Amino acid sequence: MIDTLSWNISTNAIQNYTKGDWDDDCFFETIDAKYGIYIYAISEWRMGAYAAQIAIYSNKVNVIPAVNSSTVWVYFSMATTFSYLPLSDCLIFKMLAFKDNPTQKTIPYLLIKPLENSFAFIPYDFNSIYHGFNEVKKDTISLNKSNTSQSDGIPNLHVNEVFDIAGIEWFNLENFDNALSIYHRLIGR
């Protein structure tokens, strides 16, 4: 059983819940205890690289996740699965967005604002797995290199690039199951 702290988590409320290759699911709580992130269906999608599905909770007693999809997959790493921006009230994941060809190696940033009922993207290539974000101020973030041994030798092409997330296009979470097709339509593929 995963220690979900004081959160009322039930896998029965997760869309098409399934176990992955890993024996256990994972649970994280944001530093301010505002959100609980349940990570499940963790599976190896290519050698040494893992993907998972997410359920985000915004209420400790409500068993229904605020955000959940059985079609959206994110890059999984125990240390860097997501970033949390408390001033912007935003969670950032790295979404697998390969469409029909997994060699495309497209892994954009997936931004989710559960209380605003919205999600957005910052397009990026497969190097997104080696980067994270610093919150400069509300709705302003800068890209940084993750502090992982795997990021050694990765070019710093966009490190310190600043993004105004208030100025990007946001989509309603009622369309979250279609995030992959929305992303491909957004980038013109």
Delimit the domains of the chain by residue range. Answer: 11-186
Give pLDDT tens digits for 19-74: 988 878 999 999 999 999 999 999 998 788 889 999 999 988 888 999 999 999 99
Choice between 132 and 186, residue whose per-residue pLDDT is larger: 186
Residue by residue, DSSP assigns the chain as ----TT----GGGSTT----SSSS-EEEE-TTSS-EEEEEEEEEEETTEEEEEEEEES-SS--S-SEE-SS--EEE-TTTSEEEETTTTEEEEEB---TT-GGG-B--EEEEEGGGTEEEEE--BGGGGGEEEEEEETTEEEEEE--SGGGTT---TTTT-EEEGGGS-EEEGGGGGGHHHHHHHHTT-
Q: Backbone dihedral region of 50: left (phi > 0), alpha (psi from -120 to 50 degrees) or beta?
A: beta
So what's the pLDDT on residue 46? 77
Tens digits of per-residue pLDDT, 71-128? 999 999 888 899 999 999 999 999 988 766 555 668 889 999 999 999 999 988 777 7
pLDDT over threshold 60, residue 4: yes
